[in-house]
Amino acid sequence: MCGFAGFIDRPNRIADPASAMALMSDAIRHRGPDGEGQSFDASRRIGLVHRRLAIQDPSEAGAQPMRSASDRFELVYNGEIYDFLELRAELETAGHRFRGKSDTEVLLAGFDAWGIEPTLKRVDGMFAFAVIDRREGRLILARDQAGQKPLLLAVAGKCIAFASDLRALEALPAPFARQLSGINENAFRWYLANGAVPWPFSIRPGVEHVPPGGLIEIDLEGGRIDRRRWWTPPTEFLDDADDQSGAEDDTNQVLEALRSSVHRQCRSDRPIGVFLSAGLDSRIVAALAAEVRPELPAFTLGMPGPFDETGAAATIAARLGLPHRIIRPREDETIEAARSLCSVADEPFADSSLLATVLLSRAASPEIAVALGGDGGDELFGGYRRHLAAARWRGFKPWAMRQIAGIGHRLPDSISGKIKVGRGTLREASYRLKNIELGHEGYLRLRGTQGDAAELFESGPLSASAISRRNPWDGLAPEWSGVRSMMAADFRTYLPDDPLVKVDRGTMSCGMEYRSPMLGRDVISTAWNLGTNRLFDARGGRAPIRAALRSLGLPTGGPKRGFAIPLSDWLRGPLHGWAESLILADFEDPIDQTALRNDWRRHEGGRSDLAVRIWTIACWRAWLTSRH
């Protein structure tokens, strides 16, 4: 787990490569506080920079950049290969010998033995990396299938740069300085609508995010760039009529896949803990981790009012016999953390639960270096309320669902709550399927889930036609197949754009690694091989997870909340002064300042709850200020 950066300067336009590498390294210091390394190939003008968070084999034998035994490959890498012990044993049987105990060395040995892409298809892990293949004269950039680790690419003529964080690219001199000082308006509009910048866009023009499962091959001689995928998520799913498995079989398959994933991800040479909410996903992760780590500490963030999950989490921790730490941040800690979010997030990001993640991570980091959590379970097993709504209204096309939701929104709840639509009510459709749009990848996605500030764009309301859907990584969307299309969209877009950004940036800002056992290789394939009817029961989605918890003797009740914060109250309370300074000041940005100030007064006076919209603009302006 680390951060890395680098560049290819074929036209020799970076006058002082050593200085450029030092600036890039300093920009990602937070991702690797335990050490740094650099290499520069003067003949090919390739610089590699690495910052190390030492989790597996903290000795110098695990330092990067690292070369393979054959000297063919040189790697800088961010992530963990969880099954590296099994792969190591296989490679040793084939005659390979290791000098250290790191998963990095195992990954390189796999490249030597099997090749890069075949190795990626074998490993169970999270990663982003850059590797030089000296024999083939190429540089390969790749990212894991779920997008757990970030990877950006900037191209300025024949100069190419890459990094874990945008700020490392922003540290580069000419020829990158110009394109890294502007704003990508298309990405900004997406941010206003959704609260996050979606891949492949970056907030900076000329910079792109490598997609989940993406691979970029750069010819070191000619400079040709080939974009492709080493892994493509499925677009077809098991039809219910073809699903011959029983509920007990499904439970056993899911439980065993999760158990294997959790146990592998408990491997660490540094202290490890679990972020425990009251939700099903973190609950089962904690239970399975306790099987191999019985003294695993569990950390829960205590929030005021209905957001407080500490009671339910304490009950689970006690049942499992885990030491439980309840974190209740002081007001000054909350204000300071909010002010730091613009640097934590790296790009504009308005999911307010990032603040919760930062507060929790800061409190836990003196005790642990690795945290387990439940991210990914909702996308794989139908855990969002919109998934349940779509499952109930099978057979409806997106345009019909959008119309139904619009009608319900205009009717009183007393009427819409009595009108049956599919297996639900019109009122449910109104609340759960509002603002369905085709997303940046051509997949169905919900607008306004974390943003809702689009109408403040000064040139007029953000419409579907105003957003470019061009994506060089994918073709047309697959045929609409109900809830599984929505779940596939969430996995491919919302998950890497939002929840995984939140946990990666929030924990790495504290020098901590976050692991998501729900996104283990076998868990993903198991979930996608289940029939849709197996995912839902009378209580909603994630039926196999509830069944697995029951088989472990654990409760399955409680509302779904996650690590949330009381945003509305905090914007009127401890965060009032910070937000007001950003909302009322005159900024040179394309926001309708008059409308924004009116919204602020309405929220401030309690006449309307416009917290999400205000937070979205405040986070944008805090980020903008930090970059000037």
- Show the tokens assigned to 65: 């950049």
Question: What is the per-residue pLDDT across 391-415, written as a single tens digit (0 to 9) for each?
Answer: 877 666 665 666 666 655 555 665 6
Q: Which of 225, 214, 224, 219 is nearest to 474 (CA)?
A: 214
- CATH number, domain of 194, equals 3.60.20.10
- CATH number, domain of 519, equals 3.40.50.620
Is residue 437 in a domain? Answer: yes
pLDDT, averaged across the chain? 86
Percent composition of the chain: helix, strand, coil (DSSP 3-state, to 5): 40, 15, 40
pLDDT band for 233, please (50, 70, 90 cuts).
confident
Q: How far apart are CA 266 and CA 520, in angstroms?
A: 12
Is residue 353 in a domain? Answer: yes
pTM: 0.89
User: Mean per-residue pLDDT for 487-509?
Assistant: 92
Domain containing 619: what range? 567-626
Is residue 470 in a domain? Answer: yes
User: Mean per-residue pLDDT for 133-146?
Assistant: 96
In this structure, are residues 84 and 108 in contact, taking their beta carbons and an 8 Å threshold?
no
Same domain, 355 and 501: yes
Same domain, 183 and 51: yes
Q: How far apart are CA 190 and CA 199, in angstroms?
A: 10
Q: Residue 460: its pLDDT value, please?
A: 41
Say how many Å lie between the first and final Cα of the chain, rounded.
Answer: 30
Same domain, 370 and 401: no
Q: Residue 589: its pLDDT value, please?
A: 85
Same domain, 176 and 224: yes
Q: Where among 229, 258, 291 does a domain terminate? A: 229
pLDDT band for 154, please (50, 70, 90 cuts).
very high
Same domain, 300 and 357: yes
Q: How far apart are CA 104 and CA 52, in angstroms?
A: 12
Q: Which of 87, 79, 124, 123 is nearest to 106 (CA)?
A: 87
Q: Residue 158: its pLDDT value, please?
A: 86
Q: Residue 400: its pLDDT value, please?
A: 64
User: Mean per-residue pLDDT for 62-75?
Assistant: 95
Q: Residue 540: its pLDDT value, please?
A: 87
Q: Which of 168, 243, 330 is nearest to 544 (CA)?
A: 243
Give the total number of structural domains in the chain: 4
Same domain, 63 and 210: yes
Q: Residue 446: its pLDDT value, please?
A: 40
Question: What is the per-residue pLDDT across 307-327, written as a single tens digit (0 to 9) for each?
Answer: 788 999 999 999 999 999 999
Q: How far apart are CA 258 and CA 526, in angstroms?
A: 10
Whether 348 has a pLDDT exceeding 90, the answer reads yes
Q: How far apart are CA 179 and CA 190, in angstroms?
A: 19
Is residue 388 in a domain? Answer: no
Query: What phi, psi does 248 have (nearest 5°)?
Result: -65, -40
Q: Residue 486: its pLDDT value, please?
A: 81
Same domain, 249 and 225: no
User: Mean per-residue pLDDT for 549-575?
Assistant: 82
3 state DSSP class of 327? strand
pLDDT band for 380, please (50, 70, 90 cuts).
very high
Q: How far apart are CA 222 and CA 139, in angstroms?
A: 12
Is residue 560 in a domain? Answer: no
Same domain, 503 and 477: no
Q: Where among 197, 229, 261 does a domain terminate? A: 229
Q: Residue 442: its pLDDT value, please?
A: 38
User: Which residue matches tokens 């607008």?
Assistant: 447
In this structure, are residues 112 and 129 in contact, taking their beta carbons and an 8 Å threshold?
no
Question: What is the per-residue pLDDT across 581-620, written as a single tens digit (0 to 9) for each?
Answer: 999 988 888 888 898 999 999 998 888 888 999 999 999 9
Q: How many residues does the chain have?
A: 628
Q: Where among 489, 519, 538 does a domain terminate? A: 489
Q: Is 540 left (phi over 0), alpha (psi -120 to 50) or beta?
A: left
Environment class of 99 (CB within 10 Å of its CB; exposed 0-12, middle 13-18, buried 19+): exposed
User: Mean per-residue pLDDT for 415-444?
Assistant: 53
Q: Which amino acid is at 117?
A: E
Is residue 122 in a domain? Answer: yes
Is residue 123 in a domain? Answer: yes
Q: Pick 530 or 233 by higher pLDDT.
A: 530
Is residue 234 in a domain? Answer: no
Same domain, 511 and 462: no
**Cβ-proximal residues to 119 (8 Å cutoff; 6+ apart), any chain:** 107, 110, 111, 113
Q: Residue 445: its pLDDT value, please?
A: 41
Alpha carbon separation from 266 to 269, 294, 515 (Å, rounded)? 10, 11, 9
Same domain, 301 and 442: no
Same domain, 296 and 198: no
Same domain, 114 and 149: yes
Q: How far apart are CA 7 and CA 21, in angstroms?
A: 9
Whether 173 has a pLDDT exceeding 90, the answer reads no
Q: Residue 278: its pLDDT value, please?
A: 85
Across the beta sheet with 2-9, the strand order is: 35-41, 46-52, 2-9, 159-163, 152-156, 207-209
Query: What phi, psi does 47 have (nearest 5°)?
Result: -110, 135
In this structure, are residues 107 and 78 in contact, taking their beta carbons and an 8 Å threshold?
no
